[in-house]
Structure 1
Amino acid sequence: MGYTVAVVGATGNVGREALDILAERGFPADTVLAVASRRSAGQDAYFGDTKLKVVALDNVDFSKVDIAIMSAGGDISREWAPKIGAAGCVVIDNSSAFRMDSQVPLIVPEVNADAIEGFRQKNIIANPNCSTAQLVVALKPLHDAATIKRVVVSTYQSVSGAGKEAMDELFSQTKSVFSVGEIKPEKFPKRIAFNAIPHIDVFMEDGYTKEEWKMMAETKKILDPKIKLTATCVRIPVFVSHSEAVNVEFENPITAEEAKGILRNAPGCLLIDKHEDGGYITPHEAAGEDATYISRVREDATAENGLTFWCVSDNLRKGAALNTVQIAEVLVNRGLIEPKQAAA
């Protein structure tokens, strides 16, 4: 007997990816529900080759659902996740609503799968921010080997992280550049086409943006609270995949060659690092792939026990949909939940 899975936010970028990935990975689901707002009810969605009719969120009986993967935004999650969890359905939430809740585990399966046991307190598991997810996948094996003291990361984030409207804005602005048309920023505070915007999410009192704060706080919760991290998050005119330039200081010595050997065998990582033209991964090549790609690993001569590397991953997959499905797989593979239909 398989599981009943609801994908909430099924008409959005991440929701569609989640449905695709559930099918690709052969998740043991007998029933998959595509769920969205009343406005989207009746639209078509696809689970592999199976066409689904989107159902309205408030029409779903979650007492009959085993797992709800939520990608409908923070406001919807704050309202609905506690209700769904109280109905006995495990919520895997992709928003920021519960990430820093001490009673909600924040999970990246390659990094801290054992922490998933805490989901029983609220029946909610949080998925990290897209930029955090790929970063901690790369940092975890290095931290285990040499203990990380400090991280400085600069991100180069694709517009898909801001949703479909952001992708549409990049497309329309790019056309306008070539046709000498009017360029009017709407989704972004400044023009995104052929530009870079050092501003993602709202500004905080200390001058950091919320996106930068998320990376700092989430890395500590997932990996190690003693790690010091500072981030600068930049939006660039790329449709899919986030890139990160990462500088790490360790407590113990570690060479670039040692780090490459570790990363070559680390779960979720794929090392592509040749010292030649094109011997690295770019966002375009990472799009549609599951791995966190690591390139340009080198020693930092300005810091004792320092390394620098380049990290790229598809933000819609590992940064969001793939990670939620992997969390669901941990629940199933560890026997932490049983299908309700089987129990009945």
Structure 2
Amino acid sequence: MYNIAIVGASGLVGGTFLKVLEERDLPIKNLYLFASARSAGKEVIFKGKTLVIEELTENSFDREIDIALFSAGGDISKKFAPVASEKGVIVVDNSSAWRMDENVPLVVPEVNPEDIFKNNGIIANPNCSTIQSVVPLKVIDELYGIKRVVYSTYQAVSGSGIKGIEDLQRGLKGEEPKTYPHPIVNNCLPHIDSFLENGYTKEEEKMINETRKILNKKNLPITATCVRVPVLNGHSISINVELEREANLEELKAKFRETKGIVLEDDVKNNRYPLATEANGTDEVYVGRLRKDFSIEKGLNLWVVADNIRKGAATNAVQIAEILMKK
């Protein structure tokens, strides 16, 4: 039995941690919940028991805790993850704070589970869009080799947390946005996170750098355009891949069917392809619209959809915790 902590327990991902931990029935002895002072004292139900959220302080980890799941923002992670790890806690962090640190493994269990045990007390959970992208890309790379990747994302408002959901709800009522720079209703905003001097956004840079790190391809050419769309939950991504070797679509489909964590939805004659509404509430990565890109010699297109709060955040972190426990 293990003692688990959740940091950021009152947030959207924190609440999903609780749901996923209960669904997957991890061997938990004690579960400790931490959040900011304004959330301290709130009660939540876990496996029929009432738990009280505590204020996160530097003394929060002065007790026996094996694994801490963090989802409270980069600043909190930078401050408190080292505090926890110094006290023997293994931190699985959902923020961007540690992802590109050379000493911190960046893990998607279906792709690079071996990296989990290279940790020095902190393991980073990748960006939500990166997670769902690298799961099928790993399969493609092993079969045919990847030369270049082009991402075009269609990201749900839940990726901005509760504030993004509230902005969509405001827009549907004809009210002005408070989180996004423009109304999200009836719009697609090619603007996720802040803009960099090179014209890309931080979100786009994250996808590029994280994909390289997870696939262990430091110089892989990648470009990305990340777009916020008026969808409540579930990110959709168009991925264009240039390959080292010609793809065999039937072989690739067969491999996807047998790969744990992937659901192949690719029957265009019957209008079957991945949808955000079907991915919502699930932990798998849905892949479809597989077709060759005839504009280049060895090209491939695919459409990838997943629940960004579950597989793209909470579930991926819990899967990492499961592997740690089994070891």
Please tell me whether the aligned partners of residues 159 and 240 of structure 1 are also in contact (alpha carbons under 8 angstroms): yes
SS in 1 for 2:225: strand
* Matching residue within 134, 137, 140 for 2:135: 137
Deviations 1:40-70 (A, max 9, x none): 0111223243321111111523441111000
Are 2:77 and 1:77 equivalent residues in the alignment?
Answer: yes
State yes or no: 1:198 paired with 2:190.
yes
Could you say which residue in structure 2 is the equivalent of 1:55? 54
Residues 237-265 of structure 1, C-alpha deviation per residue, up to 9 Å, x if partnerless? 11111000111111011122222112111
CA contact (8 A) 1:74 1:97 kept: yes
Question: Match for residue 46 of structure 1?
Answer: 45
Consecutive unaligned residues of structure 2, counting only runs of 5 or more, are: none
Rounded to whole Å, the distance in 1 between the matches of 2:62 and 2:69 is: 12
Alignment counterpart, residue 167 of structure 1, candidates 165, 168, 178:
165
In the alignment, is the contact (CA less than 8 A) between 1:148 and 1:250 conserved in 2? Answer: yes
Instruction: Please list, as runs of the form range in 1=range in 2, the aligned pairs for 1:84-95 lying within 5 A after superposition.
Output: 84-95=84-95
2:316 is the counterpart of 1:326? no
Deviation track 1:259-306 (CA, whole Å, cap 9, x = no partner) reads: 211211122111011023531121111110110000111111111121
1:10 counterpart = 2:9: yes
The SS at the match of 2:178 is coil
- Name the structure 2 match of 1:97: 97
Q: Which stretch of the first structure deviates more once superposed, 253-262 or 319-328?
A: 253-262
In the alignment, does 2:211 pair up with 1:211?
no
Give the deviation of 1:127 after TM superposition: 0.2
Question: What is the aligned-residue RMSD (CA, Å)?
Answer: 1.1
SS at match of 2:111: helix
Cα pair 2:170 2:177 within 8 Å, conserved: no
Residue 10 of structure 2: SS of its match in structure 1? coil
1:299 aligned onto 2:292: yes
Q: Following the alignment from structure 1 to structure 2, what is the Cα–Cα distance between the partners of residues 257 and 162?
A: 37
**Equivalents in 2 of 1:175, 1:65: separation in Å?**
45
Question: 119, 126, 129: which is aligned to 1:128?
Answer: 126
Deviation at 1:229, TM superposition (A): 1.0
TM-score (norm 2): 0.97
Structure 2 CA distance for aligned equivalents of residues 100 and 221 of structure 1: 8
Paired residue type of 2:300: L
**By how many angstroms is 1:185 displaced?**
2.2
Runs of at least 5 residues in structure 1 that lack an aligned partner in the other structure: 177-182, 335-344
* 3-state SS of 2:116 partner: helix
| Contact 1:22-1:47 at 8 Å conserved across structures | no
* Cα distance per residue 1:133-153 (max 9 Å; x no partner): 000011111111111110111
Give the match for residue 179 of structure 1: none
- Post-superposition Cα deviations, 1:179-200, rounded to whole Å, max 9, x if no partner, equal xxxx322200111012100000
Confirm whether residue 184 of structure 1 aligns to residue 176 of structure 2. yes
Q: Which moved more, 1:217-226 or 1:40-49?
A: 40-49
> 2:272 corresponds to which residue?
279
The CA distance in 1 between the partners of 2:45 and 2:123, in whole Å, is 25
TM-score (norm 1): 0.92
SS in 2 for 1:109: coil
Q: The residue matched to 1:102 in structure 2 has which SS?
A: coil
**For the residues of structure 2 that align with 1:158 and 1:94, how far apart are their CA atoms?**
18
Q: State yes or no: 1:269 paired with 2:268.
A: no
Q: Distance in 1 between matches of 2:221 and 2:322?
A: 31
Structure 1, 194-203 or 43-52: larger mean CA deviation: 43-52
Distance 1:83 1:316 in 2: 26
User: Quick one: which amino acid aligns to residue 117 of structure 1?
Assistant: F
Is 2:13 the counterpart of 1:20?
no
Q: Which moved more, 1:279-288 or 1:87-96?
A: 279-288
Distance, in Å, in 1 between the alignment partners of 2:60 and 2:269 is 54
Work out the CA distance in 1 between the residues paired with 2:50 and 2:135.
34
**Distance in 1 between residues matched to 2:47 and 2:182, nearest whole Å:** 38
Single out whichever of 26-35 and 208-217 deviates more from structure 2. Answer: 26-35
Cα distance in 2 for residues equivalent to 1:57 and 1:276 = 53
